[in-house]
Structure 1
Amino acid sequence: MQFPIVVGVDGSEGSLRALDWAAAEAARSQHPLRVVHASLWERYEGRLPTFDTERPAEQILAEHLVASAQERAQRLHAEVDVVADVRPEDPVKALVRESHEAALVVLGSRGRGRIAGMLLGSVSLALAGRSHCPVVVIPATTPGAPPKQGRVVVGIGDAERPTAAARFALDQAVSRHGELIAVRAWRCPAHEAADHPLLSGSPASAHRQRAEDHLEDVLAVLDRTSSEAAVHRSVEQGPVHQILIEAATGAELLVVGARRSDGHHGLHLGAVNHAVLHYAPCPVAVVPDTR
């Protein structure tokens, strides 16, 4: 059974961007596409007008919305198998449930109603922290220049072996016939002195060398899984979120990981993931660590 790519729609411009991206991804990866509208989205982010009809106004608009979205996706990519569904429940709960049997869940970064002006919608943020499959959040605006075709950027953290995010990023680069940019950020604590007993040479040089060695160790394992995409290394000094956002300029996709923590409800997104979800110039995939 091939899991579908699920896209959440709410009639906003952001959800149309998400729909178009998801349809193109489904066509490229040969996955079916499932268009979902949770009918309580409007109550979640603002109220609907009422109409004098036998059926609730929410139901009428929801059915029209998903039918229009399904038609749009099929018009853009006739080869994709597209189904649409209205779910009478809270959007986050509905899409978390969808994520159990989905290849990806795709959303726009902004919703409708009272939170439309925010950088990141409440549904997108909540889903990114609770999904059981990768979540791709599409930014509200397109970059000034088109991205380099097939370029995928992934952040490499402290894990000793490739994470689910690193493997997902490599798969994306391979399927796009493109390249993977593996980014490792490092910083030198201000309190460290050059004569620290565990450091040889300057502290900065030692930290950079450790970052380079760690990246090589991770990629040595990751590269064994595929030789069909060029893998480039990027080791930069500075805040992780800033390095990743800068690296994402000109990319088709930025991939970050999220881990499950003991005593933590859902995934631990952390400050870095919050920052890239708000400010990255390209779509961001948040991949749960399945280990």
Structure 2
Amino acid sequence: MSWLSDPFSLEFVQRALLGGVLVAILCAIAGTWVIVRGMAFLGEALAHGMLPGVALATVLGLPVLLGAAVSAVAMSLGIGALQRRARLSYDTSIGLLFVGMLALGVIVISHAGSFATDATAILFGDILAIGVGDLIVLAVAVVIGVVAALLAHRSLVALAVDERVARVLGLGPRVAQTVLVGLVTLAVVASYQAVGSLLVVGLLVAPAVAARQWTHRIPTTMALAAAIGAVSVAAGLLVSWHAATAAGATIAASAIAAAGVSWALRACRDVVRRRVASPVLLPA
């Protein structure tokens, strides 16, 4: 079993595993609500929306996490402003800003002279380069995410059921929507170092989709999604080590594969249950 243990005996792989597990927990919290609300497009848009901030921070020599946070927050505020003032639908607002921010990021990247390596790290991440400081940032982000989800749980549930009911009950649907966008923004920005802006949606959505096949309660879905995400991180690191593939992309692919396997197993279970439940017709 040395093929299984050898990669994880190295310190930088251990840091990558711990960082990936923290990312999986954070993404499970935000991703569950994303799936429940049918807002996967928001996660993808925010992941791409932080590209210009990361690119500018890299060019100017500033902390990339700061650039990612500023850009993602600007994206979130822009979506809200377009909804309120331009009276555009939610998906239209996201689509406009998504394309605009992505175009701006590509312009910055193309304008910079020697930016190929940095662009690859931005788009696909570098989980094997996670350091102690990154682990601390991720741990703080997880704590913030858990606290925010706990405090806003009732409002988020009411918002998921019916926004009008939430308003009548005084549960603050606008506040709940802000918390949800904040959770997704936090997960996307914090996870960017691990899997990059293009692949973060995989860990945000896929484990929650896989978990949703087997659970219906929000806390249970979050816990199962976190476990599936953590297993995907470990499997992705193991495969990337032996197959010499990009770690971040392999982790995202593992998460997508987990969602596919979960769906297939659920379909097989449903078929077996229907066959068992159907009456057997005996010949006369």
Higher strand proportion, which one?
A: 1
Q: TM-score, normalised by structure 2?
A: 0.23
Q: TM-score, normalised by structure 1?
A: 0.23
Q: Relative contact order, CA 8 A, sep 6+: which one is greater?
A: 2
Higher helix proportion, which one?
A: 2
